[in-house]
A and B are shown apart, each in its own frame.
Chain A
Amino acid sequence: MSQSSSPTTKPTTFNPRLSRIIQEIPPSGIRKYFDLASTMEGVISLGVGEPDFVTPWNVREAGINSLERGFTSYTSNSGMMELREEISRYLSDNFQTHYEPATEVVITVGASEGIDLAIRSIIDPGDEVLIVEPCYVSYDPVIRMAGGVPVTIQTTLENDFTLTPEALEAKITPKTKGLIFCFPNNPTGSIMTEEELKAIAQVAVKHNLIIISDEIYAELTYDGTHSSIAALPGMKERTIVLSGFSKSFAMTGWRIGYAAGPEDIISAMVKIHQYTMLCAPITAQIAATEALRHGMDAKDRMVESYRQRRNFVVKAFEQIGLTCHTPKGAFYAFPCISNTGMSAEEFAENLILDQKVAVVPGHVFGESGRNHIRCSYATSMDNLEMAIDRMDKFLSKNR
């Protein structure tokens, strides 16, 4: 049984000039809160899905210097070899995954492009792709745009929003081609341990699934270290690892990421990439190389700061009466708001109107998030303290 992942509100009338597939994709659920927040003065936003740091200066300087020296050309489709070599070394040193820079790594325009390339390179129309939700908002539409069928696997607070082999197995059909997930997770902050991933890997091997592992938040793991499913025996050949520089090096606007995987899939991804994007911007590639070579200290300082703020917000939410599981990675807390009697949507809307604090309701990231709100702690401690104060007032009024 397949099941569509998001409650699609299909338009009643179709515009014949536009693609039917595109018209069937609902508008982004975040838009409404963005519109509300951006028209108000004095809003404290916990709704931002990107670091509050700017790119470390040495990385910015490398980009500026490259422009001054005239590096303004295309690069190889797969990306500059020196960057692919740095990525390969970095993955091997940190996650025990080994990739040949020449054939098993491609530089993408953010991990976002990697998601699209990965999906398009593996599916034919009608193929089902499993999505572990709650999750980043693009998986579902990207699968639809490729003609695939997104099938969601819900996770629960009781399981710390991790994927269990039973839940996975229950959704597999003869049409299932692959599985996409993101750990550390946006929006829940959950991670999966090596043991938990082993159980998933067994199911993947048994049913011959391709795994798309979005590891964009890997560096932002606070308790323990990040485990990549690609490092498990027999998994490299069926796993596409997606990552990038946006979160770990605060480089969101540079649009620079990468995919690493088996040669046949990477080569298919490069084929799509060369006919659509051609290559990632050279300035960003040079800056990213600098980030891997000399940016680790700056990254460590950012991670230290996120961990401190994570500790602060989780406790603060508990103190004001919201149950909040401890996010072990990323920079989001995902408190449960079911005890307020409001839906996540009502909560988010009333909170911003009443107290000028912007959060994102959990249902935007999938049904399993419907009793939660996503609060990004990628903002200053002063802002967090103020936001918690305001949320406390809001909850007192609504008790």
Chain B
Amino acid sequence: MDNQKLRELLHILEQNSRRSPETIATMLEVSVEEVKETIAKLEEDKTIIKYPAIVNWDKIEHNDIVYAMIDVKVTPKRDVGFDDIAERIYRFPEVQSVYLMSGAYDLSVVVVGKSMREVASFVSAKLSTLDSVLSTATHFILKKYKHDGVILEKPDDDKRMVVSP
């Protein structure tokens, strides 16, 4: 599959990972086998990592989930730089994502918990006590408007007239 089609295939899956190989094959004017083989390869080399659903948990009643973004300053270690401490942090199940950042701090860590107290206790008891961690600044997420390119609250509805020339 050429590079342009490969990119298109990934865009289609990124929009809707449940689109069938048959439909994708028609859309890209290639064979179903080619689509299946390419997807298998992409899964194998971890270009496609997982097919999760984007969930708006705010819609679920009694669903108490708190997210916080934590700016973490750390001391990098000889030979391994930031990788070692990043791994120490991302292995905690409370941690949703970890990014190495340029600028005023080093790691941006997204933590999820059932309450602010739980997140605070994770930060004070586990995160800030790690050897390389110099300081943390915790920002609780109050509301998610857009996540991974998807607008959660008000998806744009079709404002066009139903029939036009």
Please give, as numbers and ranges, the residues of chain B lying within 8 Å of A34 by CB-CB distance.
161-164
Say whether B162 contacts A37, CB under 8 Å: yes
Q: Is B97's CB within 8 Å of the partner chain A?
A: no
Which B residues lie within 8 Å of A304 (CB)? 8, 11
Residues from chain B with Cβ under 8 Å of A138 in the complex: 165
Cβ–Cβ contact B162 & A311, under 8 A: no
Is B16 engaged at the interface, CB distance under 8 Å to the other chain?
A: yes
Q: Does B114 contact A (CB under 8 A)?
A: no
Complex Cα distance A322/B108, Å? 55
**In the complex the two chains form, what is the Cα distance from A30 to B165 in whole Å?**
7
B29 at the A interface (CB under 8 A): yes
What is the distance, in angstroms, from A337's C-beta to the closest C-beta of chain B?
17
A269 to B165, CA, bound (A): 24
Binds A, one of B19-27, B64-72, B75-83: B19-27
Q: Determine whether B154 belongs to the interface, using a CB cutoff of 8 Å to chain A.
A: no
The verdict on B32 contacting chain A, using a C-beta distance below 8 Å, is: no
A311 touches B29 (CB 8 A): yes
| Residues of chain B contacted by A309 (CB below 8 angstroms) | 27
Is the CB of A240 closer than 8 A to any CB of chain B? no
Indicate whether B44 reaches chain A with its CB closer than 8 angstroms. Answer: no
A348 nearest CB neighbor, chain B only: B163
Q: Are B26 and A33 in contact (CB under 8 A)?
A: no
A186 to B164, CA, bound (A): 12
Size bracket, chain A contacts = 20 to 34
**Closest residue of chain B to A28, judged by CB?**
B165
A43 to B11, CA, bound (A): 28
Q: Tell whether, in the assembled complex, residue A37 and residue B163 are in contact, meaning their CB atoms are under 8 Å apart.
A: yes
The answer, yes or no, to whether B158 is at the interface (CB within 8 Å) is yes
Selected from B28, B158, B163, B164, the residue in CB contact (under 8 A) with A308 is B28
Distance between A297 CB and nearest chain B CB, rounded to angstroms: 13
With CB as the reference atom, state the residue of chain B lying closest to A43. B162
Interface string of A290-304 (1 = CB under 8 A from B): 000000000000001
Complex Cα–Cα for A312 and B11 (A): 16
Q: Are A311 and B27 in contact (CB under 8 A)?
A: yes
Please tell me if A391 contacts chain B, counting CB pairs below 8 Å: no
Once the chains bind, are B23 and A385 in contact (CB under 8 Å)?
Answer: yes
- Does A381 contact B162, Cβ atoms closer than 8 Å? no
Contact across chains for B27 and A45 when beta carbons are under 8 A apart: no
Can you name the residue of chain A whose Cβ is closest to the Cβ of B27? A308
Chain B residues 124-165 with CB under 8 Å of chain A are: 156, 158, 160-165
**A/B interface sample: 15 pairs, CB < 8 A:** A30-B164, A30-B165, A33-B163, A34-B163, A38-B161, A50-B160, A137-B165, A186-B165, A308-B27, A311-B26, A312-B23, A315-B26, A364-B165, A381-B16, A382-B16
Other A-B pairs, 12, CB within 8 Å; known A28-B165, A186-B165: A30-B163, A33-B163, A34-B162, A37-B162, A45-B162, A47-B162, A49-B164, A137-B165, A308-B8, A312-B27, A316-B26, A360-B163
Binding site for B on A (CB under 8 A): 28, 30, 33-34, 37-38, 43, 45, 47-50, 52, 54, 136-138, 186, 304, 308-309, 311-312, 315-316, 358, 360, 364, 379, 381-382, 385
